[in-house]
Amino acid sequence: MFILWWIIVGLIAGWITGKLMSGGGYGALMDIIIGIIGAVVGGFIMRALGFAGSGGMIYTIVVAVLGAVILTLILRLLTKGRVRQI
C-alpha cells in the first residue's frame, strides 16, 4: 500500500510539475519517476529547513511538487533542455 501511495503522489506531482514548467515533458513514466524522486528531494529540503514531515496529503503533494520542480530544473540544466520521450 505504501508503494501505491508514492506512485499516486509521484503521478500528481509529476503532472503538476509538467504544467508549471514551460516546455515539453519527459513522458508519463518519467514524470511519475521525477515526481517520486522529487518527493524525496522536497522532503529532504523541508526537513533541512526545519519543517515537520507530517501535514497530510496536500502538504505531501506540495513538497513533492517543490522537489520535482527543483529536480526538473537540474535535469534541464544537465541535458541543456533536450526532451526525451519514453
pLDDT in tens, 58-71: 888 888 888 888 88
pLDDT tens by residue, 38-61: 888 887 888 888 876 667 788 888
Q: Considering the entire predicted model, what is its pTM?
A: 0.76
Which long-range CB contacts under 8 A does 12-19 form with residues at least 24 apart? 12/61, 12/64, 13/38, 13/39, 13/61, 13/64, 13/65, 13/67, 13/68, 14/38, 14/68, 16/61, 16/65, 16/68, 17/65, 17/68, 17/69, 17/72
